[in-house]
Copies of this chain bind each other. A is one copy, B any other.
Amino acid sequence: MTIATKQNWFTEVFGNEGTSFGLEITEKLHEEQTRYQFLEIYQTKTFGKLMVLDGCVMLTERDNFLYHEMMTHPALFTHPDPKKVAIVGGGDCGTLREVLKHPSIEKCTQIDIDERVTWASQTWFPQLCDANDDPRAELLFDDGIAWIKNCEPGSLDVIIIDSTDPVGPAEGLFAVDFYRDCLKALKMEGILVQQSESPLLHTDTIIKKIHQDMRSAGFNQCQTLPFPQPVYPTGWWSCTMASPVGSVSIFRDKEAANKGFTTDYYNLEIHRAALAMPEFMKRSLTS
């Protein structure tokens, strides 16, 4: 639900959570009903441009680096030698850009159902689309669930589920059947990573269920990594990483320390830090 507090504010109300978050805006740059969702682009006063889907803040220029870096680099440095990556969702291309910073990558396929999101990102967030013309990038506009289901077994090193919340179109991305298809599509040492909502709000519900479903699907290890994300509910977000065989808390630390590309949040120490579990999450997720 969106309410206008004043004419020049975009305010998202998280009805079930009893909280709201607002950004001061100077201009509405675009709106359209795509085939799948209602898409809006705003110029904010202090957070750069803002993308909104169905009334939910997706990203701003100022703080998207936190989410995109944390959805990508921990998973890629956990895999011993990632070459083939699939991004389910991620139509703004920010995750794709981070993935292609890794020189080992041979191919990264992004499967987002809504071509208009990518068009909007190319138009208003061109810095996120830096890598779209990289020959290793493949942009598909299709149903990610079906694509993963039909994917050649054992053909992927890393799957990144960069989706909206687990309601509506993205609901099927938070389900044991989908995780089973991911497991089949991954090679033996593959890594799955999914955005997994707010530690404060969702540890006992969504995050706990993701862990249970990933284990039910055959993933042996899973770990939730919290990180700050100011424009999402509570400003505190997470991704959950899973592996069919090994530990997801051991990673290529020497290579992370000498990554050879620029980031704004991620580094070796931040990767280690994100593996730390707050007491209340430990109690919830190990009980």
A residues whose Cβ falls under 8 Å from a Cβ of B:
3, 5-6, 9, 11, 13, 17-24, 44-47, 62-63, 199-200, 226, 228-230, 234-236, 262-267, 269-270, 272-280, 282
Contacts and interface: CB of A to CB of B under 8 A. Distances in A.
Closest 9 CB pairs of A and B: A235-B235, A18-B46, A273-B273, A20-B22, A269-B276, A273-B276, A230-B234, A18-B24, A18-B45
A20 B46 contact: no
B19 A46 contact: yes
Contacts of A263: 279
Contacts of A265: 278-280
Main secondary structure of the interface of A (DSSP, over half): mixed
A3 B11 CA distance: 12
20 contacts: A3-B6, A5-B20, A11-B11, A19-B46, A20-B23, A21-B21, A63-B200, A226-B228, A228-B234, A228-B236, A235-B236, A267-B278, A267-B282, A269-B276, A269-B277, A270-B277, A270-B278, A273-B273, A273-B274, A273-B276
A39 to B, nearest CB: 22
A276 B276 CA distance: 11
A46 B20 CA distance: 12
Most buried by B among A47, A265, A267, A279: A279
Nearest to A8: B18
A73 B199 CA distance: 21
Q: Output the residue of A9, A13, A230, A277 with the most chain B CB within 10 A.
A: A230
A251 to B, nearest CB: 14
A262 B264 CA distance: 34
Contacts of A229: 235
Contact of A47 (B19, B20, B46, B270): B19
A83 B47 CA distance: 44
Contacts of A17: 46
A267 B280 CA distance: 10
Nearest to A199: B228
A154 to B, nearest CB: 34
Contacts of A235: 228-230, 234-236
A199 B63 CA distance: 11
Nearest to A232: B235
A150 B108 CA distance: 64
Contacts of A11: 5, 11, 20, 22
A194 to B, nearest CB: 20
A3 B274 CA distance: 36
A18 B265 CA distance: 22
- Residue in A23, A62, A200 with the greatest tally of chain B CB atoms within 10 Å: A200
A270 B272 CA distance: 10
Contacts of A280: 264-265
